[in-house]
Structure 1
Amino acid sequence: MSASSPRQAVRWLHIVAPPSFSAPASARSWCQCGFERTARDRAGVPALIAAHTAHAAVCPLSHPEGSKAA
Structure 2
Amino acid sequence: MTQPTPIRREPATRQAVRWLQIVAPPTFRAPVSARSWCQCGWERTASDRSAVLALIDAHTAHAAVCPLLDLEGNKAA
Please tell me the TM-score bracket, short chain as reference.
0.7 to 0.9
Query: Would you say 1:30 and 2:32 are equivalent positions?
Result: no
1:16 to 18, 23, 45: 23
Give me the TM-score of the superposition, normalised by structure 1.
Answer: 0.83
Query: What is the one-letter code of the residue matched to 1:44?
Result: A
Give me the TM-score of the superposition, normalised by structure 2.
Answer: 0.76
Structure number with bigger Rg: 2
Structure 1 unpaired stretches of 5+:
none
Query: What is the one-letter code of the residue matched to 2:15?
Result: Q
Structure 2 unpaired stretches of 5+:
1-9
The 5-angstrom pairing of residues 1-70 of structure 1 reads 3-63=10-70, 69=73
Instruction: Tell me the percent identity.
Output: 71
Q: What is the CA distance between 1:19 and its match in structure 2?
A: 1.1
